[in-house]
Chain A
Amino acid sequence: MSAALLEVRNLRVEFPTRHATLVALDDVSFEIAPGEILGVVGESGAGKSLTGAAIIGLLDPPGRVAAGEIRFDGKRIDNLPYEAMRKIRGRHIGAIFQDPLTSLNPLYTIGQQLVETIQTHLSVSADEARRRAIRLLQETGIPAAEQRIDQFPHQFSGGMRQRVVIALALAAEPKLIVADEPTTALDVSIQAQIISLLKRLCKDHGAAVMLVTHDMGVIAETCDRVAVMYAGRVAEIGPVHDVIHSPAHPYTVGLMGSIPAMDEDRERLLQIDGAMPRLTAIPSGCAFHPRCPKAFGRCHVERPNLMPAQATRAACWLHAADMKAAA
């Protein structure tokens, strides 16, 4: 796909330690089209936040991109020097993090932070930057934006703070926003407001979004496509409707079955026994095979790549072409 805004190819992220090199992400590939919302879902330790961090060039050392490439707008960005990456981050790729309190500086008013961001990336006068900042705050639904722009982050509630963070991310009109669990720290009623705001604003501004979350409900409501991650790899990727209604990977099936439903009664939930493997002991073959109810010989030894499966693409030998021929 040459039209993709963001292209991640065979990304591998490693953390060298004294004992061994831990492979946190392995062979992760996906792309995001302009204006598209891609959900990245998985349980803790699946590597979903790390993928976001690698894209915006904020991997914590000693973590490093060991192989593969990340292309943004056709240009490679994974090997850029720090200063060059800094110009892209914020200007072309915005970021929203989980905790709105820690992503704002408590010592500056939100106006100062917004104006600084706008002036760093766009050449506009201070007055124009302030006007833009107020407009952004109004767009994110902050009441009395002219007065509140001069307040400090602690004077805002959690939901309002996250609105400010969204305004900050959109300040330089980026083409892509990486949102890492933007609603996890918020109450359900606020979460709904923030999600619909994020969706509407990104549509208005034409920004694509990579939405990292563990909440399938949020994914279902927001995304166009979804990538399900497991143990540092993409287990399944496809249009959101197909992944939710006809999942092809046994992990996705288990994940969907373990979510209590609002519209049906079940005595027991489907459960996936065991837990996500640790990075120090990723199983051989398919990383999911020890927990997989359908695992067979090949799963123990050979690692599956993403292959077409029903309407999606899944990394599972059940969908291999020769399996289908045999069936």
Chain B
Amino acid sequence: MSAVTSPVVPLVEVGDLSKTFDVSPPWLNRVIERKPRQFVHAVDGVSFSIERGKTLALVGESGCGKSTVARLLVGLYAPTRGKVRFDGTETTEMFRSGAALALRRRMQMIFQDPYASLNPRWKVADIVGEPLKEHGLLAPDDGKSRGARAADLKAHVAELLRSVGLAPADAEKFPHQFSGGQRQRISIARALATQPEFLVCDEPTSALDVSVQAQVLNIMKDLQRKQGLTYLFISHNLAVVRHVSDQVGVMYLGRLVELAEKAELFARPRHPYTRMLLDAIPDIHMSGRARTPVQGEVPNPLNPPSGCTFHPRCPHANARCKEERPALLQIKGVRIACHAVEEGRI
């Protein structure tokens, strides 16, 4: 393992990451109906990096590819093109080799639905204890009796449960005995079991009520402070993103359209899509304010518009936007993919 872990080297580096899914109809249908193969470019040339101990949030509407990015990072999908570097080493090859286990120990994932991501037939002790056993993280069993090993595991699980605000006695319960927020804490405890450096959180609070969401977000922030965790936080809720993140990436139809520091993005959103998203948020404290009406809907990703994929909904689109795809450029400290911003039209 490389000893280069100076703070300037980002923990996670993603370059030109792409994932294409084949969604063609079956061979016979293609022949009879004379249809070509069909592909969805779920993620198309996404690049970003996350520094150690920081949080990058990806936002966008459904179908923009943010969850696919999460799955590519933790190795649940293999990328079609592009690289993911974790702590200086490229992961695609590592996930296929014998080093995969060691890599997986260092990055864990929290899923959206705490009802589907916990095995209903397992006790919490087994759910949280599984990664410990799987990765051999318990003290070496040099001649220890079975009882001593079990006690060791139990102490570990109790410690993990305490760190997410649950009681050690909860280890003997089944998932159905918990509320949604408590289940999400169990998922977090399971993810923390391997003492990871990097957590990928895919909409961790979208299925929760607001008061419970606040509990989970607070725990995640506390853990980051105490253990120096690095997060990739995926959400469609800009208010939540504003609360948790350091950097924000806005995605639209598989591409990153704006990537900026949180304060910059919320104070001065540049990309028309980012502005539109911010306008779409109901504002609690200015009741009665009229919002700028948002136009149109997300196009079908199977048949995305030419040029800049946002041009049919964009108030600033011109002929160039219809034909030429904008690249993600560094403009005034933020990275942005928009012809209008590049030309200084907006």
A272-B211 contact given A192-B280, A216-B284, CB 8 Å threshold: yes
Mark the stretch among A20-28, A78-86, A203-211, A217-225 that contacts chain B.
A217-225
B340 adjacent to chain A (CB < 8 Å): no
A221-B291 contact given A195-B282, A269-B218, CB 8 Å threshold: yes
Contact B284 A214 (CB under 8 A): no
Q: How far is the CB of A236 from chain B (nearest CB, A)?
A: 15
The interface residues of chain B lying within 8 Å CB-to-CB of A262 are 238-239, 242, 266, 281, 283
Bound complex: CA A189 to CA B291 (Å): 11
From the candidates A187, A260, A271, name the one contacting B239 in the complex (CB within 8 A).
A260
Contact B215 A273 (CB under 8 A): yes
Chain A residue nearest to B63 (CB atoms) is: A187
Chain B residue nearest to A251 (CB atoms) is: B211
Contact A275 B221 (CB under 8 A): no
Contact B210 A258 (CB under 8 A): yes
The interface residues of chain B lying within 8 Å CB-to-CB of A188 are 61, 236-238, 277, 280-281
Q: How far is the CB of A203 from chain B (nearest CB, A)?
A: 13
A281 adjacent to chain B (CB < 8 Å): no
Bound complex: CA A217 to CA B291 (Å): 12
Mark the stretch among B10-18, B156-164, B253-261, B293-301 that contacts chain A.
B293-301
Contact A275 B212 (CB under 8 A): yes
Bound complex: CA A84 to CA B300 (Å): 45
A157 adjacent to chain B (CB < 8 Å): yes
A301 adjacent to chain B (CB < 8 Å): no
The interface residues of chain B lying within 8 Å CB-to-CB of A268 are 218, 221
The interface residues of chain A lying within 8 Å CB-to-CB of B286 are 220
Bound complex: CA A43 to CA B213 (Å): 11
Q: How far is the CB of A65 from chain B (nearest CB, A)?
A: 26
The interface residues of chain B lying within 8 Å CB-to-CB of A193 are 293-294
The interface residues of chain B lying within 8 Å CB-to-CB of A255 are 210-211
Contact A244 B285 (CB under 8 A): yes
B217 adjacent to chain A (CB < 8 Å): yes
Bound complex: CA A43 to CA B179 (Å): 12
A258-B214 contact given A44-B209, A188-B236, CB 8 Å threshold: yes
Chain A residue nearest to B215 (CB atoms) is: A271
Bound complex: CA A220 to CA B283 (Å): 7
For chain A, which range describes its interface: under 10, 10 to 19, 20 to 34, or 35 or more residues? Answer: 35 or more
B29 adjacent to chain A (CB < 8 Å): no
For chain B, which range describes its interface: under 10, 10 to 19, 20 to 34, or 35 or more residues? Answer: 35 or more
Contact A259 B209 (CB under 8 A): no
Contact A259 B283 (CB under 8 A): no
A190 adjacent to chain B (CB < 8 Å): yes
The residue in A157, A187, A241, A245 that gathers the most chain B C-beta atoms within 10 A of its C-beta is: A187
B279 adjacent to chain A (CB < 8 Å): yes
A308 adjacent to chain B (CB < 8 Å): no
A220-B284 contact given A196-B293, A269-B243, CB 8 Å threshold: yes
A99 adjacent to chain B (CB < 8 Å): no
Instruction: Using A192-B280, A196-B291 as known contacts, list a sample of 20 further A-B pairs with CB atoms less than 8 Å apart, ordered by residue number in A.
Output: A43-B212, A44-B180, A187-B62, A188-B281, A189-B276, A189-B294, A189-B298, A214-B210, A217-B284, A220-B285, A220-B286, A220-B287, A221-B283, A254-B211, A256-B284, A260-B239, A262-B239, A262-B242, A271-B215, A271-B218
The 10 closest A-B CB pairs, nearest first, are A217-B282, A258-B214, A260-B243, A43-B209, A269-B214, A187-B61, A192-B280, A220-B287, A260-B239, A271-B214
A-B contact pairs, 21 of them (CB 8 A): A43-B209, A44-B180, A44-B209, A159-B297, A187-B62, A189-B298, A190-B297, A220-B282, A220-B283, A220-B284, A220-B287, A241-B288, A255-B210, A256-B284, A260-B217, A269-B218, A269-B243, A270-B214, A271-B218, A272-B214, A275-B179
